[in-house]
Amino acid sequence: MGFQQVFTPLDLEIIDRVYEAAWAQVEARQFFRDHEKDGERQDALRKFIMDLTGTSKLDFDTLYERVVTTLPEPWTLFG
């Protein structure tokens, strides 16, 4: 049996805000991407962020910094 992270409502809000900010970075940096594949990219970005949450207390700045510094450039891994 594996470990399962339990998120508080505040954690989920932080994760959602990090996702929105990271997606804005993708849109700004890759304006000429294939927009038809944005849904796949968004799903992959959500998973990527969840994988980076770790087990410590979440805060926006730390998680956002972790995401944008490890986000592959260009963000086209999944489409």
DSSP 15-75: HHHHHHHHHHHHHHHTTTS-GGGHHHHHHHHHHHHHHT--SSPP-HHHHHHHHHHHS-SS-
Mean per-residue pLDDT, 1-26:
88
pLDDT at 78 over 80: no
Give the tokens for residue 64: 């956002």
- Total domains, the chain: 1
Q: Does a structural domain hold residue 46?
A: yes
Q: Does a structural domain hold residue 32?
A: yes
Residue 79 is predicted with a pLDDT of: 43
Mean per-residue pLDDT, 3-25:
91
Q: Does a structural domain hold residue 77?
A: no
> Which residue did the predictor score with more confidence, 40 or 73?
40
Q: Does a structural domain hold residue 23?
A: yes
Q: Which residue has the tokens 């207390």?
A: 57
Q: Does a structural domain hold residue 26?
A: yes
Q: Which domain holds residue 28?
A: 9-70
pTM to 2 decimal places: 0.82
Residue 75 is predicted with a pLDDT of: 57
